[in-house]
Chain A
Amino acid sequence: MNVYPYLVAVFLLVIGAFGIARSHNLIHAVGCLSVAQAGTYVLLLAVGYQHGAGAPVFGSPASTPTRNVSDPFVQAMALTDVVVSATVTALLLALSVQIGKRHGTVDPDELSALQG
């Protein structure tokens, strides 16, 4: 097992969250959320990867695989994750646009409508 991809995954998740915490622009914050999510893609794919294994494509559905393949299950999960990400990012960006219109700013430090 190579530990490197796991470190990258954790790094992406944490740096994305750190970016949201320090953000001065909501568009940037939503971008950071996508960075954090990229950590989950790397983690999922790292879990299913085998060195030297091929793509999980077989000739006919019932044939027994004769060689090692990387795990299709995590790839399917990563794809689902991408779809979820696209939806959520689009929605949050739309909300950021609307915040910009209604508040006149997208800096979270200047949004003070909800306190206490």
Chain B
Amino acid sequence: MPTFDHGAADIPALAITIPILVACLLVAFGRRIPRPVVDSVALAAALTVLGLLAALLASSSHGRVVSWTARWVPEHGYSVGIVLVADPVGAGVAVLAAALVALALLYSWHYLSSVSGHFHALMLLFLAGMVGFALTGDLFNMFVFFELMGASAYALTGMKIEDPTAVQGALNFGIINSLGAYVSLSGVALLYARVGNLSLPQLSAALAGHRPDALLIAGFVAVSTGFLVKGALAPFHFWLADAHAVAPAPVCVLFSGVMVPLGLYGALRVYWIVFARVFPHGEIRRAFLVLGVLTALVGAVMCFGQRHFKRLLAYSTIAHVGLFVVAAGLLSASGTAGALLYIAGHAGVKAALFLLGGVMLDRYGGVDEVELWGRGRDARVIPWLFVAGGIALAGLPPFGTGLGKAVSEEAGSHAGYGWFPVLFVAVSAITGGAVLRATGRVYFGLGADPRSRAHGSETSGSHERSDVDQPLRRVPLTMLVPIVGLLLGALAVGVLPGAHTAAEYAAGYFLDSGGYTAQALGSAGHVLHQTPLPNWTGLGVGLGLLSAALALAIAAVALYPPKLRVGERTTRVARAPIIALHRIHSGHVGDYVAWMFVGIAALSALVALPLQR
């Protein structure tokens, strides 16, 4: 009789319940206790969860940590209990979530001064949802935690309820994500109808070697849809820019840093554990690569066209999500390892940039790079942090973004996709260049005064409501420490020796569907073989330097546009597709729903049509 007695087996459940309990206490008593106490209690809870999860991560590196709730362990491979399974990727994502929540709470110390306990409570509920989603081994519980994460996220987006754009962004976000979740739930019901159980290991065991029939295709597409909506894959991505543009900066940190990657995590987790032995890899790989490339290109083009800084960062997140999907969509251990490193590095860099955007908003009362041209010339430290963030976003070695990019490019080239480095360099250079352009305008006053040439139709961000009562005169330490810490964290991912090895090892566990199933259903865990890999190769460093240089060049060209001798007509023809793309992003929730169904049809076609032959 196998046992599930493991030193760390109680941690997953604790890491989910502690934030929920503290959140309830804060809702109940938050108004009656002084704000610093609320801040400290919330931060202490987040740090406790972070500590627990770090211990869990350390423990999971010797094999997965499996815990069946209330010891309803499987007998003869069958159980109706609920299982939590922490493998290195799940535990790692949970650690990332807890770390970002802790830093966001620290940043909020002077931020959002008007809120009482409910902001902190929502942040902790959000954390519980993310940790639960990352650690659960049950498909229905994935839906429940998905919705817990969703509901707290909608409320956090609409935090500034006096701001007209905030409530509109929150509503778009809520409707699209909820509809996606219901499509997922339909898929869950279909799979239950086939198997009679919903824990991932039992689904995996029951479906292994099954022929991919209509019901399984429908189930896979439906379950994936909700997760891909959260993962902001085009054409499911429209909500993301609206939500990010209006949410408070510390909330954006969680959205871009971990919530959106968690959507991809869910889709890939379900694919690897449940469907990897049902569908041929070739078809799924094609589906992921097509959607990933589309997402990366749409995100990059839209990112460069923004003047609202937070919206610019939001589209850059979409572009990077496309790159993660392309890398993980190779369906190989090295591609997944590249995506993991890229996600970790990107989380640090993008989170730091969002917090810097928050500083810009609190200092100058807006985030519009056109309106704020030259306003930040007097700042001393902040501009250089912006520059570091922009150039790290472009993938400069030795930042973690550069490492993830290099490993992904190499994985793609090895798999025979020669266009991988081109896509990765182009997208990261464009998004990094956009950040550098905005920094150059606001903080260095570079380029011609852009106010004379501005269009009126874009989202400008000049009416955005500040999150502090009075404009900041100087940046408090509680805001500066998280920003610098996040950038250093992104640097650590690329510098720490063994980062590549650890990611490849974690990816090995993530892809090992048979091992996951066997261990969750009771056999002893086995430790995978670990091969030491170098972090950096010459080619990777070279391509990283190239994209950083390109980003600088793109920013320079955008700030000092060369006078080209092209006719009015040529310019108009060249701009037409970009204007059309901007029009598609209409801010209209009905359009977004229509695009979602286009996406479902496209995903079904990509998966099902090749199987007909």
Contact = CB atoms under 8 A, between A and B. Distances in A.
Contacts of A30: 175
A9 B457 CA distance: 41
Interface in B49-74: none
A99 B171 contact: yes
Given A47-B189, A73-B80, A29 B175 contact: yes
Interface stretch (A36-44, A53-61, A62-70): A36-44
Contact of B459 (A36, A40, A77, A116): A116
30 contacts: A17-B179, A20-B590, A21-B597, A29-B589, A33-B175, A33-B178, A36-B179, A36-B182, A40-B189, A43-B190, A73-B80, A74-B189, A77-B188, A77-B189, A84-B151, A88-B150, A88-B151, A91-B155, A92-B154, A95-B154, A98-B167, A109-B588, A111-B168, A113-B164, A113-B168, A114-B246, A116-B305, A116-B458, A116-B459, A116-B585
B169 interface: yes
A116 B167 contact: no
A91 B151 contact: yes
A115 B587 contact: yes
Contacts of B151: 84, 87-88, 91
Interface in B175-217: 175, 178-179, 181-183, 185-186, 188-190, 192-193
Contacts of A26: 171, 589
B588 A99 contact: no
B162 interface: yes
Given A47-B189, A77-B140, A95 B179 contact: no
Nearest to A98: B167
Closest 3 pairs between A and B when the two form their complex, measured CB to CB: A114-B587, A102-B164, A116-B582
Contacts of A23: 589-590
Contacts of B599: none
A112 B587 contact: yes
B590 A102 contact: no
B158 interface: yes
Nearest to A102: B164
Nearest to B176: A20
Contact of A91 (B154, B457, B589, B590): B154
Given A20-B590, A33-B179, A115-B586, A13 B192 contact: no
Contact of B588 (A33, A92, A111): A111
B144 A80 contact: yes
A114 B168 contact: yes
A24 to B, nearest CB: 9
B154 A108 contact: no
A102 B162 contact: yes
Contacts, number: 140
Interface string B546-584: 000000000000000000000000000000000000110
Given A47-B189, A95-B158, A113-B165, A88 B587 contact: no
Nearest to B174: A92
Contacts of B457: 115-116
A8 to B, nearest CB: 13
B416 to A, nearest CB: 38
B147 interface: yes
Contacts of A116: 305-306, 457-459, 582-583, 585
Contacts of B185: 40, 44, 81
Contacts of B154: 88, 91-92, 95
Nearest to A96: B171
Given A17-B179, A43-B190, A113-B165, 10 more contacts: A23-B590, A26-B171, A44-B189, A80-B140, A88-B154, A91-B155, A103-B168, A108-B588, A112-B587, A116-B459
B605 interface: no
